[in-house]
Amino acid sequence: MRLPKPLPSLSPLRPLRPLTRPVLVAAVLATTTGSLLLAPNSATADRKPPVREGSAPADSAARAPASAARNALAAPVTDLSAGTGGYPREQVLAPDPENPADKSIKLGLTPYHAIAPKLNELQGLGDRVSVEVAGRSAGGHRLFLVTVTAPETARQTRAQERMRELIENAPQAAAKDTAIKASYKTPVFFNNNIHGNEWEGTDAALKLIERLATAKDTKTADLLAHNRLYFNITANPDGRIAGTRTNANGFDLNRDFITASQPEVRAMRQIAIDKQPAVMLDLHGYVNGTLIEPTTPPHGENYEYDLFLKNTYANALGMEAAVNGLGYTPAKDGVEPVQIPFRDQQEGWDDWPPIFTPQYAAFHGTVAAHTVEIPMTVNNSAYDTLPVEELRRRSAINVDVAGAAMRATLDFAQSHRTSLIADQIEVFRRGATGAAQVPVSAETVPGVPGIGPEDVYTTDFPRAYVIPAGAGQRSATAAGRLVDHLLANDVRVTRATGDFQLAGRSYAKGSYVVDLRQPKRGLANVMLADGRDISGKVSTMYDISGWSLGRLWGATVERVESGGLSAVPLRAIDAAAHVGYVAPRGGLRLRLDTPQEIAALNSLLQQGVSVRQDSDGSALVPSSARAKAVALARAYDVAFDATKASPKASQGTALHRVRVAAAVTAGELFALREMNFDVVPVSTAILDAGFDWSTVDVLFVSSGLDHSALTPAARTALDAFLATHGLVGRGATGAALNAAAGLLAVKPVEGNGDANGVVRVVNSGTVTTGAPDHSFVYAPVWFTDLGPGVRVEQSYATGNPLVSGHWRPLDDGTGGPTAAAGQAAVVSGPHAVLFGTEPLFRDHPKGEFPQVGRALLTVSRS
């Protein structure tokens, strides 16, 4: 396949993304030395008056947002790097409308609408507190990032920025830099309320900020002279207001860090990149007694776990002493002593996947990162059933516990600041030089008791990854999206300026190369590697165990184990090359292999363009729609190639705009809308209330719809719809509805409900034409006893289909991966397609989305 040519008339949709670390090493080396040790009130004379929110402060020159053209739903991210001015950088925040329904109020906590006025008040207490708006939530609420530090002149702030750049970009030089040891302020980050109905971290943070803003003691002055403290006041304002774990899009933000589908996560990602914290806490609830990371095995194999464990365990001990020292007891208060899972548990609360905030932060140089689960339950049923007085008593304890953990962390950061920064430098040095990881042991991590072979997890980093161009690339559109995602995560990517050979393979000009000798090699590898089958390591996992973007995002990615890159003609890039293209004459062909291509097709259908689907699964578009194709090629970065096939009735099958009734998860709903489907959410309750089936064309079911629980009238209406329209079902719920409606004659077999990961598959049908040979499963299902008219669209590969993740048989020996091997994973027939895989899981496996898109288009016309 050729790489589509760029369309000369197309202008770039997205702004160019500047390099996240644009400072040249030589310049950093030249200008870092001689920076001044900051003392309290050293910048008071340079203090500027606060500005109104929305104006452009002179000290906050923001760079262009991260590239997002290949994700139509990606919101720009505020750049939070130092800019050109000093601290404080105050602004007057506009108030939010008072909301008496805010769920925080019942608990005696700070409602969201009171946060902006409180932050205005805190900024007015002195010259230590600054506020930035880090972004907006899915529901449109502001995300407030507060910085607390001793005042800095603009010159001092620039020196801090240069030192921060040096630590990442030239870690070997940074390790020897006397200015860093003397005057670099240790960045400490407190992330609060990422789960909206785990409220109290926000209130503890506000109390701590106020104390730091007003304290006159020498200890506080010394702390703020040597540290910058960052507070994400509420990471999930939507959930805080509504009393929900998730944001307004229904997403658990603490599962989204490898995908970054949500604006709140993209804001936190930017904080991690721009502030480069050495220490961080992520405040959660509720586990009694307070649960403090480090965790049980398995441990993430891609970060420098020896450095992470050393610092995280030491800080955990300090937090334990502080929390237990509050004096709460089981008998008097109902508060149990602190638990440290690494020390106190065997398994079940691991740090394996990079989807959690502390695990993601570790790849950006955070060497002491913790989830902290405060003790007293006040959410869910407790919120609805306990007396207000009891809820407020519990919340007050939780605020106290969270505050103790924060204060202990500040003590730890202050007393260990030199070693913390040295360890952060060492993380980046190992990556940049290709140094080996250090396995944990009693010798390599002294002071941490109980280290055993069950705690040793390391990986073999390849020399590089190549994302080929030209005939070796499955999808140039998918490749561009993957490259932009890597860049947005501060992974360095280069592009070949000529043809080259590497490790005995030939690659075309324009191929992308990810050199694993870079400071954040762990993040590059955790995204692109296949991962590992850890089924035999532990009996249970806390959440997902496999997630490879290299296998699941639809682009061809090749692992290069060895070989030099010096002879390869490469240049650094800050954005992937555009591939949007429209052939200058004749009929057009649009492949349907990426979410963007499905979205472009749905836009054409919405505009009334007559489109047909060819036997290879691609869409045939008439030449009369060329102007519309040009706009869509620009918007979605997709290619409309020339074709001799005719989009007339004699060629292919007519496609029509599809309106989808969807009883699905939040992630699936989000993915459907990303593909530009018109979606109407439904559920058992909505159907029971009376639903107008004439307004939709197809039903997609994976969750929340139980045929047997419907009222007789609702069941009759649903059955009548399914008798003449299409069903796409996923998992056990979709298969159950199929059986109740009597559509496809199949027997669904449910695997282990805890199983998840990346699996090898074999594609054999029209829905899966051209699909990747890997998919994702969670609680996998397969289909046997296939009746007449049932086609196998996709099968689990023979042998052990699991590539990476955790999939064990049940106690009786059934439900494991070998039982699924060779069995049908996706089946189709008249009016129905059933998936045993999870192709839209949490908006993550981008390369699998088109299977669902094609299924919806197919069953609606059958």
| pLDDT tens sequence across 818-844 | 999 999 999 999 899 999 999 999 999
Torsion angles phi and psi, residue 738, rounded to 5: -60, -45
Q: Which two tokens stand for residue 203?
A: 């209130």
Q: How many CA atoms lie within 13 A of 435 on its CB side?
A: 17
Q: Write the single-letter amino acid at 258.
A: I
Task: Match 């020339």 to its residue by tokens.
Answer: 642
Element (H, E) at 750: strand 747-750
Q: What single-letter amino acid sits at 172?
A: Q
Question: Looking at 56-166, which runs of residues are DSSP E strands?
Answer: 91-92, 129-136, 142-148
Exposed/middle/buried for residue 681 (C-beta within 10 Å: 0-12, 13-18, 19+): middle
What is the mean pLDDT of the segment spanning 533-548? 96
Is 80 exceeded by the pLDDT of residue 744?
Answer: yes
Neighbours of 215 (CB within 10 A): 15
Question: 260 with 162: CB under 8 angstroms?
Answer: no
Q: Residue for token digits 């785990």?
A: 198
Q: How far is C-alpha 627 from the chain's CA centre? A: 35
Question: Which bin fits 813, alpha (ψ -120 to 50), beta or left (φ > 0)?
Answer: left
d(CA 598, CA 621): 13
Angle between helices 115-123 and 200-214 (to 10 degrees): 20
Rounded mean pLDDT, 688-696: 98
| 464-467 vs 659-663, strand pairing mode | unpaired
Q: Is 571 left (phi over 0), alpha (psi -120 to 50) or beta?
A: beta
CA atoms within 13 A on the CB side of 345: 20
Average pLDDT of span 65-89: 55
| pLDDT band of 644, cuts 50, 70, 90 | confident
Q: Quick check: 49 pLDDT over 70?
A: no
Helices (H), 728-783: 731-741
Phi-psi region of 280 (alpha: psi -120 to 50; beta: other; left: phi over 0): beta
pLDDT of residue 652: 77
Question: For position 78, what pLDDT does the model report?
Answer: 57
Peptide bond into 289 cis (omega under 30): yes
Question: 398-434: b or e for each residue (b if 16 or more CB lie within 10 Å)?
Answer: bbbbbbbbbbbbbbbbbebbeebbbbbbbbbbbbbee
What is the tens place of the pLDDT at every residue in 655-681? Answer: 999 999 999 999 999 999 999 999 999
Of residues 861 and 484, the one with the higher pLDDT is 484
Residue type, 86: G
3-state SS, residue 787? coil
DSSP 93: P
Q: What is the pLDDT of residue 51?
A: 65
Tell me the β-bridge partners of 756: 778, 806
Of the chain, the percentage scoring pLDDT greater than 90 comes to: 88
- Looking at residue 377, its pLDDT comes to 98
Looking at residues 289-312, what average pLDDT do you find?
98
Residue range 163-178: mean pLDDT, rounded: 97
Band (85; pLDDT cuts 50, 70, 90): confident
pLDDT of residue 22: 35
Active site residues: 373
Q: Where are the beta strands (DSSP E) in 544-665?
A: 558-560, 570-572, 581-582, 587-590, 611-613, 619-621, 639-643, 653-655, 659-663
Alpha-carbon gap, residue 30 to 156, rounded angstroms: 15
- Average pLDDT for 173-202: 98
Cis? peptide before 298, omega within 30° of 0 = yes
The pLDDT assigned to 862 comes to 57
Task: Say yes or no to pLDDT of 29 above 70.
Answer: no
Q: Is the pLDDT of residue 275 over 70?
A: yes
Express each pLDDT in 480-509 by its tens digit: 999 999 999 999 999 999 999 999 999 999
Q: Which of 856, 808, 444, 386 is nearest to 660 (CA)?
A: 856
Cα separation, 1 vs 477, in Å, equals: 13
Mean pLDDT of 244-267: 98
pLDDT at 17: 32
> Which of 161, 381, 199, 181 has its CA nearest to residue 284?
199
**CA dist., res. 484 & res. 271, Å (int):** 18
Q: pTM value?
A: 0.92
Helices (H), 660-797: 666-674, 684-688, 712-724, 731-741
Which two tokens mark 287? 């586990």
Among residues 94, 25, 83, 35, the alpha carbon closest in space to that of 57 is found at: 83
Cβ neighbours for 216, distance < 8 A, ≥ 6 positions apart: none
Strands 279-285 and 368-374: parallel
Closest CA to 60 of 50, 71, 45, 74: 50
Structure tokens at 149: 């530090």
Residue 180 is encoded by which pair of tokens?
Answer: 């860093």
Cα separation, 323 vs 374, whole angstroms: 10
Structure tokens at 837: 């895989």
**pLDDT for res 731:** 98
Average pLDDT along the chain: 91
The three-class DSSP label of residue 369 is strand
Beta-carbon count within 10 A of 717 CB: 17
Average pLDDT over residues 640-657: 81
Spell out the residues 6+ positions from residue 609 whose beta carbon is closer than 8 angstroms to its own: 621, 622, 625, 628
- Please count the CA atoms within 13 angstroms of the CA of 374 that sit on its side-chain side: 35
Q: What is the pLDDT of residues 95-119, one digit of tens each?
A: 999 999 999 999 999 999 999 999 9
pLDDT for 14? 31
Q: Looking at the predicted structure, is the pLDDT value of residue 238 above 50? A: yes
DSSP string, 332-396: HH--PPPB-HHHH-SSSSEE-STTSHHHHHHTTT-SEEEEEEES---SHHHHHHS-HHHHHHHHH
The pLDDT score that the predictor gives to residue 649 is: 58
**Average pLDDT estimate for 226-253:** 98
Give per-residue pLDDT as tens, 424-457.
Answer: 999 999 999 999 999 999 999 999 999 999 999 9
Q: Which is higher by pLDDT, 26 or 84?
A: 84
Domains and CATH numbers, the chain: 63-433 (3.40.630.10), 464-572 (no CATH), 581-654 (3.30.70.790), 658-859 (3.40.50.880)
Q: Among 143, 142, 139, 104, which Cα is nearest to 238's? A: 139
Residue 34 has pLDDT above 80, yes or no: no
Pairing of strands 227-232, 186-192: parallel
Range 713-737 average pLDDT: 97
pLDDT band at 285 (very low <50, low <70, confident <90, very high): very high
* pLDDT for position 50: 64
Model confidence at 175: pLDDT above 60: yes
